[in-house]
Structure 1
Amino acid sequence: MTDAPLGRSADHRILTVGYTLSTGPGVAATVSYVADGDRHVIVDPGMVASRDRILGPLAELGLGPEDITDVVLSHHHPDNTMNVGLFGRARVHDHKAIYEADQWTDRDAEGYELTPSLRLIRTPGHSVEDITLLAGTGSGVVAFVGDLWWRPDGPAEDPVAPDREELRASRLRVLAAADVIVPGHGPSFPADDSAPR
């Protein structure tokens, strides 16, 4: 059985391509927009040089912060969450709950579907709380993985991973379901044999 969503109606755009300078001091998140039906999703609205790096490309799509219905946080490191407050009307999804206004609804992210084309799965490795958003698009499945991979080159050995074997297992799970990977701090890359394991 594959983790890939059954639907293939989602569309996506990377709003800003992130980067890392080793483990600091300079870091910016790759922030993505995913649409499916009436759902407008931002993935990992983290650290960027300027909020315009997120809001400008979103405005080019004819959208403002108030139009975003959902935010997915791959994990709770500040470099991936810093700008979540820009989207105050959105439902926020993490590994264990949905947060909206003053409501907190417990639910496990594993297998949770925002739509038939948008599925969350647990992918611990960079941290114990990591999740991946799998988006079924017309051209295949795009995996928004947070820092399961920082960049297309890995790093192969994540220096902050608490469990190297768990990281590898989660990477293999994503590679089995996805065609394209959007990492936490770099451009997208194919989910093929070139991806670090």
Structure 2
Amino acid sequence: MTAELWVLNNGYIGDRVASTVTLLRDGDTLAVVDPGMVADRQQILAPLRELGVDPDDITDVIFSHHHPDHTINAALFRNARYHDHWAYYVNDEWVSRDAEGFALTDTIRLIRTPGHTAEDITTLVDTADGLVALTHVWWHSGGPAHDPKATDSDALTASRARVLALRPSLVVPGHGAAFVPDENTPR
């Protein structure tokens, strides 16, 4: 079994900032990762419509971390449970659990990858094309080599090594287009 993945919005960072927003489908599970800042909410909603997905059909929302540029549009998905590093949330229920090793499905799971923040998580997705890592350990394919906003540079280096050791066929970074990791990927 494999999941399907669509990048709804390629993020960017500079004078303005937008998160990379991704849709995952595995059976009845429809998950959106990092529904954060975009120039217009239609950059999230229009691709969903094109895929035949109503925002109310989203079952899960995953936050790589709690910065507003990755979370601000979470309320678009009012029927979802929301996942972060230490719990998931449904309506007024807080269900404590560690993200490390938590599986939404057989093909979608979470791991801890601190560095940018102490609470960062990476979403790992088994697809027909191989393992995909949705992560903020890189902002884009070029890194940056040294994250100027990192709360712990040593932890970030270890998290990058951990993700690369999994040999993902594709990385979906926090603020850029998906890329294939290679020898030039910042460590």
Same fold by TM-score greater than 0.5: yes
Give 2:91's aligned residue.
101
Bigger mean CA deviation after superposition, 47-56 or 177-186: 177-186
**Is residue 174 of structure 2 the alignment partner of residue 176 of structure 1?**
no
**Is residue 112 of structure 2 the alignment partner of residue 119 of structure 1?**
no
Bigger mean CA deviation after superposition, 104-113 or 160-169: 160-169
Give the TM-score normalised by the residue count of structure 1.
0.93
Give 1:61's aligned residue.
51
Give 2:7's aligned residue.
14
**Is residue 24 of structure 2 the alignment partner of residue 34 of structure 1?**
yes
* Paired residues, number: 186
RMSD of equivalent CA atoms: 0.8
Of 145, 155, 180, the match for 2:144: 155
Higher relative contact order (CA 8 A, sep 6+): 1
**Is residue 123 of structure 2 the alignment partner of residue 133 of structure 1?**
yes
Give distance in 1, aligned partners of 2:119 and 2:126: 23
Give distance in 1, aligned partners of 2:186 and 2:113: 15
Gaps of 5+ in 1: 1-7
Aligned 8 A contact 1:175 1:192 in 2? no
Structure 1 residue 191 displacement after superposition? 2.4
Give distance in 2, aligned partners of 1:163 and 1:125: 5
Give distance in 1, aligned partners of 2:49 and 2:183: 36
